[in-house]
Structure 1
């Protein structure tokens, strides 16, 4: 296990800062021709990252967490007429990752984005992302996806997995899927989000079962699925970790639980992150541990400072875990 980051470098100094902070492993994306990245693009990105003494561990496939209305490849999840061509483009990108020496890619299978209600004040007046079901428009109209049943959602996911997982295996590229964030009741905005429950995630990793098919395990998002995250999270980690289905770890904490929570810094939420880290070690997790969402704080570089706090917190937990 080692600390990583998925922040996009704003300038070369960001690469230098990560190196100076001891962050050696990163997830980055090339900013050229989104969705049609060439092998040369990926090689150039890897070479740039390595020039700062860093390791390009992972990229994000052009299957983001944003709503399907803004997706690069919408037909994959909409079962549209261009679905097969768009899946072929993803397969080519996986092949290019392997050729460029990038061992893993993370992705989302998201239709309605990441629903949130207004930010709430947190520690010291920070702004923390929140979700309160009783503050949402529970009868919100469906979007581009229309009304999508659970069964149809699974069929579309399986259609995708059936075609990409063999490519990932033959190229030895781990594919890490992020859960649906947050859990929402069936039919919200017309969609039943099947990757928004622990049981759904279990079903997902057992579909087209393969050593290169697993999760970008977001502890914050999984906590959002639980009634009592502090009491329940360790068993969930053990289930997926003992089956080698965790390929990347978003080390994020929340206060609250299913349908009512606020995001926090890792040290102040309801889940015991030190205890969680012991479980990841127990099950043999061996990849990046990275911050995901962070509260919005004051100052000249709110994002950089908030993430730096999370890197240091995680590095200290790891050092203590491996020393005592």
Structure 2
């Protein structure tokens, strides 16, 4: 298990140099179909630039679903086949360029939050409060969408993309509905539950049909146990990588918090990934805005908040991996340095 830094494409030299100085080898770049119409040579050029800093381009993360250009794929419209063929060309190009993972979403309304929220020490986080009266309004796409139709379109896509992904060695995974509520703007949120992801991975039983595991969003799912979901999907090799984020509660109302504040026991979560056999990467995610922070292009948050989260991730990974080395929680009683034992 290793930390990973998320950046925009193109990321400046400073961002890549900073990642190298963090001691982090793996880079996630936001882009791909829907946000940037890139082809094979574009991906090769981007990968080689990242490698010139001694880093590894591990993931392309994006999402074509919010783009109006691709809504016939999401809703099963008249241009569905034509647009899928275009997307498959882009999938092939990513795989041929040596990129191992593509994370995307199935959220035509993109992700949603309410107003900024003041959290620990006056830092500014984000929160959500589900407004049924507002969120049940007619869809921004002109009519209310039918959930069964959206599942049919999703299954059609998975059956088309998985063989191509297998052919070029590109593992693909879907991000959960964020926030995990039944619908927003008249559009159903398909991936809002444990059962929905079980249904996803059963469409085609392949390591190339998997999950972009946003732990924060999974933690927000009402009635679900985050540790059970980590164990279930991690043990079946369905977790591609993790958005390692903490939250204060579950939908319909929650706040995003500092990584070491919230209801999730992050060390227990990391142990669960380890015990399930997961060996992939963890990014910091939706970090708060801290006082006088400087911009760090990529995920939410600035240099201070993201550095804090990255250090925390690296420390928790090392702690749970040392438990295996020492045969239990690290402490003086089992030969490690320090007094006592960690929780």
Determine helix, strand or coil for the equivalent of 1:146.
coil
Does the 8 Å contact 1:78/1:145 carry over to 2? no
CA-atom RMSD in angstroms: 2.1
How big is the shift at 1:226? 2.9
The count of aligned residue pairs is 316
Does the 8 Å contact 2:29/2:57 carry over to 1? yes
How big is the shift at 1:214? 0.4
1:199 aligns with 2:190: no
2:309 corresponding residue in structure 1: 310
Q: 1:199 to 1:205 in 2, by over 3 A?
A: same
How big is the shift at 1:172? 1.6
How big is the shift at 1:115? 2.2
1:321 aligns with 2:320: yes
Does the 8 Å contact 2:181/2:252 carry over to 1? yes
2:333 corresponding residue in structure 1: none
Does the 8 Å contact 1:30/1:45 carry over to 2? no
How big is the shift at 1:75? 2.1
How big is the shift at 1:266? 1.1
- In the aligned structure 1, how far is the partner of 2:250 from the partner of 2:140? 26
How big is the shift at 1:139? 3.4
C-alpha offsets along residues 239-272 of structure 1, whole Å, 9 cap, x if unaligned?
1111111001110110011211000111011100
1:169 corresponding residue in structure 2: 166
Q: 1:221 to 1:31 in 2, by over 3 A?
A: closer
1:242 corresponding residue in structure 2: 235
Moved more, 236-245 or 85-94: 85-94
Does the 8 Å contact 2:213/2:241 carry over to 1? yes
User: What pairs with 1:213-232 in structure 2 (closer than 5 Å)?
Assistant: 213-227=209-223, 232=225
1:271 corresponding residue in structure 2: 264
Does the 8 Å contact 1:76/1:87 carry over to 2? yes
2:337 corresponding residue in structure 1: none
Does the 8 Å contact 2:76/2:149 carry over to 1? no
Does the 8 Å contact 2:7/2:30 carry over to 1? no
Moved more, 249-258 or 291-300: 291-300
Q: Gaps (5+ residues) in structure 2?
A: 296-301, 323-329, 331-343
1:253 aligns with 2:250: no
How big is the shift at 1:131? 0.8
How big is the shift at 1:136? 6.6
TM-score, normalised relative to structure 2 = 0.86
Determine helix, strand or coil for the equivalent of 1:141.
coil
2:5 corresponding residue in structure 1: 5
Determine helix, strand or coil for the equivalent of 1:209.
coil
Determine helix, strand or coil for the equivalent of 1:137.
helix
Q: 1:138 to 1:103 in 2, by over 3 A?
A: closer
Q: 1:32 to 1:248 in 2, by over 3 A?
A: closer
How big is the shift at 1:143? 1.2
Q: 1:202 to 1:98 in 2, by over 3 A?
A: same
Moved more, 79-88 or 42-51: 79-88
C-alpha offsets along residues 87-138 of structure 1, whole Å, 9 cap, x if unaligned?
1122112211222111111111112222222111101111111111258724
- In the aligned structure 2, how far is the partner of 1:15 from the partner of 1:320? 26
User: What pairs with 1:50-129 in structure 2 (closer than 5 Å)?
Assistant: 50-63=51-64, 68=66, 70-129=67-126
1:133 aligns with 2:130: yes
C-alpha offsets along residues 142-193 of structure 1, whole Å, 9 cap, x if unaligned?
11163122211100101111110110111121002101111213x5421221
Does the 8 Å contact 2:249/2:263 carry over to 1? yes
Determine helix, strand or coil for the equivalent of 1:159.
helix
Does the 8 Å contact 1:176/1:248 carry over to 2? no
How big is the shift at 1:315? 0.2
Does the 8 Å contact 1:24/1:53 carry over to 2? yes
1:143 aligns with 2:140: yes
Determine helix, strand or coil for the equivalent of 2:89.
helix
Q: 1:311 to 1:290 in 2, by over 3 A?
A: same
Q: 1:262 to 1:243 in 2, by over 3 A?
A: same
How big is the shift at 1:78? 2.9
- In the aligned structure 2, how far is the partner of 1:116 from the partner of 1:34? 20
